[in-house]
Structure 1
Amino acid sequence: MKVKDPLPPLSWDARRIQIQGFMTGLHQIEWLLVTLITLYLVLIGAPDDHTLELLVATAAYFGFSLLASRLRFFDERQRWLLALHTWVMIGFITWFLHSTEGVSGPLTSLYLLAVVTSALTLGVLATMLEVVAIVACIVLLLQLGDERLMETANLTLLSINLIAYLIIGYLTAALVDGITVSNRMLLEMASQDPLTGLFNRRAFNDLVKPVDAMARRSRRPYSVVVIDMDGLKAINDAQGHVEGDRAIKLLAEELKAHTRSSDLLARHGGDEFLIMLPDTDAGGATRMLHRLLADPDHEIPAISIGVACYPEHGESFDALFEQADQAMYVSKSLGGRRVHVAGAPR
């Protein structure tokens, strides 16, 4: 069964962040390719009838590497941009080999740069497809060079290249997948409360920043809710910490059941929970919390709740948190099991 990813992809998509990081490495690989080809042209030379064409093509490829990353069309399609880079790289290498020594020269290994680039960024399937395309390019180069494909030397060359590209591509892609999984696990450990599975304080503070900034730009309301359990210490003293932990987990489950997917919910520490409700005024937050308290299907532990709303009670998240925290203590002083809105009469 597929487990729902608890990490909001907009802020915590490790794969997307990883791809963005690989863009720098991709440019370095492309510049390495241009450098190797330039050294070849300087040290070995090029056929007289192709010298100008090779220089123009190399300069054009270098210009493509510099300009392609600035295409605004690809801002949200980084994988497509990376795929475009690798396919252009394969085409450029193929044309260069055709204009020089073909597949019999030392630069056939340049295809490894395209294989490694694809494996680092596009995954196993895309890399295997590109390996097939590279082998097809090698076959084409043999045909254009009037080489007989069925000769033992050519078949051996083709087989060795195919096996080498497949092994390198698969192992590199598998290594990247392993790194991605490890990063996801580390991210979850760093951002989740181990007892409840909710966000911890650090993750919550990071995630509310863009929501707060967007609300302030658009002047749309949002509510901050502080929830504190009543009598957790008494449960721990009378029944033990196991029962106290069970009560905390029970409350966490009920909070998840009564919040929306767009809401941010966190265990702030101990028996205190925080909720951020985007596009929700104080009235909407109060109605949701009253439904929580009055849920006939589940009996939740006694809790005190404080609510503050932007922009009515403050112009920043920190100010709203302080107001909601004070409102929670007012609720607790009134006997608990109730919701109190900041600034409301007792």
Structure 2
Amino acid sequence: MKGNDPLPPLSWDSRRIQLQGFMTGLHQLEWLLVTLIVLYLAIIGAPDENSHWLLITTALYFGFSLIASRLQFFGSRHRWLLAIHTWVMIGFITWFLHSTQGVSGPLTSLYLLAVVTSALTLGVLATMLEVMVIGACVLLLFELGDQNLTAPSNLSLVSINLIAFLIVGYLTSALVDGIQVSNRMLLEMASRDPLTGLFNRRAFNDLVQPIHAMARRSRRPYSIVVIDMDGLKDINDTQGHGAGDHIITALAQQLTDHTRSSDLLARYGGDEFVIMLPDTDARGAVRMLHRLITDPGEQASPISIGVASYPEHGDSFESLFAHADQAMYASKASGGNRIRVHGAPQAA
């Protein structure tokens, strides 16, 4: 496929899949925060003057997290909703610290939950921005608590906490980025044919399903083309498998040059290739494939081609592929190096 491949990234967007996986962890972190605060209030006790507001705020925050966990509005296009969660978490922690012991107590480390949440889902830049906001909240808490920030003990406390937040946020974000790179590499290995660089059979079968569903909804035609090389076994037997591989890669390049960016091209196995041509009926597919036949390029082996089109020749991808495969074998039986449309009395 070409670099500007517009195919829907449904099954192959590792970032989106990873964000969806982090959703469960996000709500668990929020509930862990509520649990720690409830334990603190149960063991240490709430301050008399702010106890009712503190309990109300904790209940509201827990309700916000609980409702959000039941709503399926998260996705790769709604990362700003993840940011809202972290901003709300920072605001809640700041209110709790202001209502209890301020930043001089041990619960300042609760900000780490917000830092980790941002690092897991929003990336390095957003996390560093939130660490700066946390620093501003800490300074605000000092101001509201009438504490002297320039005192050595307070200054060292703030510095150590902010440095810890920066280190944790950066390392966690870097780890997530490394996981995403590894996922993309594994995905590329699992979905691409190593010899030609085209999609393999598994990837083609997965990617073709949303295109088929879209064609059914919009009542638009598409064509399935099955291509098989004639005489590859003889080339492997007489010239070696290296020569056979060269012929296969040359044909793959020729097919890539003759397909559109919207077409789905794959090496289906061995010397068999398959193409899905969206918005193309059988007549249009034959016109495109005729140019392929008359422009052999570097590949020296003739090819047999079978075509089946939706909805003319079937209502499912499986039936269309079977019909195109049968047409390809009929083309091969007729002498090869020709195109046959399913149901047509003779090759095109």
TM tier, smaller: over 0.9
- Provide the rounded CA distance (Å) in 2 between the counterparts of 1:12 and 1:283: 32
Alignment root-mean-square deviation, CA: 1.9
Question: Which residue number in structure 2 is paired with residue 133 of structure 1?
Answer: 133
TM-score with structure 1 length normalisation?
0.94
- Provide the rounded CA distance (Å) in 2 between the counterparts of 1:6 and 1:304: 28
Identity %: 75
Alignment of 1:317-328 (within 5 A): 317-328=317-328
**Does residue 259 of the first structure (1) align with residue 259 of the second (2)?**
yes
Question: Which residue number in structure 2 is paired with residue 49 of structure 1?
Answer: 49
What is the CA distance between 1:74 and its match in structure 2?
Answer: 5.2
DSSP-derived class of the 2:336 partner: coil
Question: Which residue number in structure 2 is paired with residue 293 of structure 1?
Answer: 293
Question: Which residue number in structure 1 is paired with residue 26 of structure 2?
Answer: 26
Q: Which runs of 4+ in 1 moved over 4 A?
A: 3-8, 69-76, 296-300
Q: Which runs of 5+ in 1 are unaligned?
A: none
- Provide the rounded CA distance (Å) in 2 between the counterparts of 1:133 and 1:258: 54
Question: Which residue number in structure 2 is paired with residue 303 of structure 1?
Answer: 303
- Provide the rounded CA distance (Å) in 2 between the counterparts of 1:339 and 1:300: 17
CA gap of 1:7–1:344, structure 2 versus 1, over 3 A, is: closer
Amino acid at match of 1:126: A
* 308-317 vs 3-12, which moves further: 3-12
What is the CA distance between 1:51 and its match in structure 2?
Answer: 1.0
What is the CA distance between 1:238 and its match in structure 2?
Answer: 2.0
Alignment of 1:179-190 (within 5 A): 179-190=179-190
What is the CA distance between 1:219 and its match in structure 2?
Answer: 2.5
Alignment of 1:36-115 (within 5 A): 36-69=36-69, 75=75, 77-115=77-115
Amino acid at match of 1:261: S
Q: Which runs of 5+ in 2 are unaligned?
A: none
TM-score with structure 2 length normalisation?
0.94
- Provide the rounded CA distance (Å) in 1 between the counterparts of 2:303 and 2:17: 39
Question: Which residue number in structure 1 is paired with residue 278 of structure 2?
Answer: 278
- Provide the rounded CA distance (Å) in 2 between the counterparts of 1:312 and 1:228: 23
Number of aligned residue pairs: give it: 344
What is the CA distance between 1:72 and its match in structure 2?
Answer: 6.8
Q: What is the CA deviation profile of residues 29-50 of structure 1, one whole-angstrom value per residue up to 9, with x for unaligned ones?
A: 0000011111111111111121
Q: Is the 8 A contact 2:224 2:309 kept in 1?
A: yes
- Provide the rounded CA distance (Å) in 2 between the counterparts of 1:154 and 1:4: 55
**Does residue 234 of the first structure (1) align with residue 228 of the second (2)?**
no
- Provide the rounded CA distance (Å) in 2 between the counterparts of 1:78 and 1:259: 34
CA gap of 1:250–1:260, structure 2 versus 1, over 3 A, is: same
Question: Which residue number in structure 1 is paired with residue 212 of structure 2?
Answer: 212
Question: Which residue number in structure 2 is paired with residue 162 of structure 1?
Answer: 162
Q: Is the 8 A contact 1:30 1:65 kept in 2?
A: yes
What is the CA distance between 1:260 and its match in structure 2?
Answer: 2.0
What is the CA distance between 1:297 and its match in structure 2?
Answer: 6.3
What is the CA distance between 1:329 and its match in structure 2?
Answer: 1.0
* 7-16 vs 128-137, which moves further: 7-16
Question: Which residue number in structure 2 is paired with residue 221 of structure 1?
Answer: 221
What is the CA distance between 1:246 and its match in structure 2?
Answer: 0.7
DSSP-derived class of the 1:335 partner: coil
- Provide the rounded CA distance (Å) in 1 between the counterparts of 2:300 and 2:78: 46
Amino acid at match of 1:190: A
Amino acid at match of 2:102: G
Question: Which residue number in structure 1 is paired with residue 331 of structure 2?
Answer: 331
- Provide the rounded CA distance (Å) in 2 between the counterparts of 1:308 and 1:93: 62
Q: What is the CA deviation profile of residues 268-295 of structure 1, one whole-angstrom value per residue up to 9, with x for unaligned ones?
A: 1100001111222111211111122223
CA gap of 1:291–1:300, structure 2 versus 1, over 3 A, is: farther
What is the CA distance between 1:61 and its match in structure 2?
Answer: 0.9
Q: Is the 8 A contact 2:16 2:75 kept in 1?
A: no
Amino acid at match of 2:172: T
Q: Is the 8 A contact 2:5 2:262 kept in 1?
A: no
Question: Which residue number in structure 2 is paired with residue 197 of structure 1?
Answer: 197
Q: What is the CA deviation profile of residues 134-154 of structure 1, one whole-angstrom value per residue up to 9, with x for unaligned ones?
A: 111111111111111111111
Q: Is the 8 A contact 1:7 1:13 kept in 2?
A: no
Q: What is the CA deviation profile of residues 163-201 of structure 1, one whole-angstrom value per residue up to 9, with x for unaligned ones?
A: 111111111111111111111111111111110111111
Q: Is the 8 A contact 2:15 2:76 kept in 1?
A: no
- Provide the rounded CA distance (Å) in 1 between the counterparts of 2:147 and 2:308: 78
